[in-house]
Amino acid sequence: MVMATHNFSPSILCIILTTLVSIAGAKVPAIIVFGDSSVDSGNNNFIPTMARANFEPYGRDFPGGRPTGRFCNGRLSSDFTSEAYGLKRTVPAYLDPAYNISDFATGVCFASAGTGYDNSTADVLGVIPLWKEVEYFKEYQQKLAAYLGHRKAENIIRGSLYLVSIGTNDFLENYYTLPDRRSQYSISQYQDYLIGIAEVFLKDLYKLGARKMSFTGISPMGCLPLERVTNMNDPFSCSRSYNDLAVDFNGRLRRLVSKLNKELVGMRIYFANPYDIIWDIVTKPDLYGLEVASSACCGTGLFEMGFLCGQDNPLTCSDANKYVFWDAFHPTERTNQIVSNYFFKHLKNVFH
Ligand SMILES: *[C@@H]1O[C@H](CO)[C@@H](O)[C@H](O)[C@H]1NC(C)=O
Ligand SMILES: *[C@@H]1O[C@H](CO)[C@@H](O)[C@H](O)[C@H]1NC(C)=O
């Protein structure tokens, strides 16, 4: 009706139609997730490891109040991003037999809590190394093609948003905890080593068809409750040296991302640097409707995570929505939502 009253020239009509078609064609059909506990939606429940969170009080604010393996009281930022794109409210874990390829066609998570870029980081707790996450992705592609046909499967693989969130464990669980890597590499050399692995990984995903990616940097990990408690220089304050390291590593990741954005034709990687937003939340929680930033909700809030964050701790807080951190190493659902909203403002302009 509106069109009829305007006198569009054929070429303008053509532009309008092409734009409409490209917007429709660009819709994100699925979210495909790689990484560590920041985005693991339950894969570790199905491998023999201690790095698990499939028991109470984990998940107590999750839909249905059930523990899923997410290291959180509720949903992860990847779940919120999926929902923001109009997809599922939660991204299912690839190894969970409760789901099948029809679920995974709109979102799938290959992440594993406790893993890192470095193979030896995954070895610490016997979790899924990053290369194996990529192997699972290849297997997924085959299942998807068998289920939907090659053409549709390829459209999903090309059109999907890839979320990658990994790296903290290489420093905190591996380099600064165990002697091996420290005896082999200076911290600067170790960062270069990790960046080299990140580059191979991103190029592998590109070769496998990924074109749209949100690649997450490292948060101010010196402000994690566990790192505050163990900060010998200034107990209970954020560890300055871990935060400086995060800034340094994020700078290197950013340079890698801009290099790959030039090199890989048709690939668009958005560097989602969580440092500033999480620093802001931690230092000014009241601006975000939060009250407690220096200790976590679970237990004493100082060191509990995984098995130590168990069911019967009378100290566990009653309202996790007041806390920045759920356990000593992981944000609450509320923080995940704030961070996801913050990035989605940018993501929705880059990847429709
Ligand atoms: C996936 O699971 C659903 C519900 O359990 C079932 O109805 C469907 O047939 C399954 N699809 C495939 C492709 O296995
Ligand atoms: C990690 O392990 C896999 C499988 O053994 C291997 O293919 C890969 O080269 C290793 N990565 C590095 C950086 O050593």
The pLDDT score that the predictor gives to residue 116 is 98
Closest ligand to the CA of 134: 2
Q: Which atom of ligand 1 is nearest to the CA of 100?
A: 1
Closest ligand to the CA of 99: 1
The pLDDT score that the predictor gives to residue 11 is 54
Q: Which atom of ligand 2 is nearest to the CA of 196?
A: 13
CA of 152 to the centre of ligand 1 (A): 18
Domain count, the chain: 1
The pLDDT score that the predictor gives to residue 5 is 44
- Give all strands of the β-sheet with 161-165 in edge-to-edge order: 107-109, 31-35, 161-165, 212-216, 268-272
Is 352 designated active site?
no
Give Cα separations from 218 to 107, 167, 180 (angstroms): 24, 7, 22
Q: Does 188 map to a domain?
A: yes
- Segment-wise mean pLDDT, segments of 10 residues, the chain, 352 residues: 46 48 64 98 97 96 97 98 97 98 98 98 98 98 98 98 98 97 98 98 98 98 95 91 98 98 98 98 98 96 91 91 98 98 94 86
Residue whose CA is at the smallest distance from ligand 2 atom 10: 119
Q: Does 3 map to a domain?
A: no
Q: Does 6 map to a domain?
A: no
Q: Does 329 map to a domain?
A: yes
Report the distance separating Cα 3 and Cα 23, nearest Å: 19
Check if 46 has its Cβ closer than 6 Å to any atom of ligand 1.
no
Residue whose CA is at the smallest distance from ligand 2 atom 4: 131
Is 150 designated active site?
no
The pLDDT score that the predictor gives to residue 312 is 78
Identify which of 287, 337, 348, 286 has the alpha carbon closest to the alpha carbon of residue 72: 337
Residue whose CA is at the smallest distance from ligand 1 atom 9: 102
Check if 100 has its Cβ closer than 6 Å to any atom of ligand 1.
yes
CA end-to-end span of the chain = 27
The pLDDT score that the predictor gives to residue 3 is 43
Q: Does 136 map to a domain?
A: yes
Q: Which of 36, 37, 40, 82 is catalytic?
A: 37
Beta bridge partners of 292: 323
Report the distance separating Cα 111 and Cα 91, nearest Å: 11
Check if 111 has its Cβ closer than 6 Å to any atom of ligand 2.
no
Residue 113, domain CATH = 3.40.50.1110
Q: Does 256 map to a domain?
A: yes
Q: Does 282 map to a domain?
A: yes
The pLDDT score that the predictor gives to residue 53 is 97
Residue whose CA is at the smallest distance from ligand 1 atom 8: 102
* Best residue among 131, 174, 203, 204 to mutate for probing ligand 2, ranked by most atoms within 8 Å of CB: 131
Report the distance separating Cα 66 and Cα 74, nearest Å: 9
What's the predicted TM-score (pTM) here?
Answer: 0.92
Report the distance separating Cα 246 and Cα 258, nearest Å: 18
Closest ligand to the CA of 104: 1
Q: Which of 96, 214, 327, 340 is catalytic?
A: 327
Q: Does 233 map to a domain?
A: yes
Check if 196 has its Cβ closer than 6 Å to any atom of ligand 2.
no
Domain enclosing residue 338, as ranges: 29-350
The pLDDT score that the predictor gives to residue 9 is 53
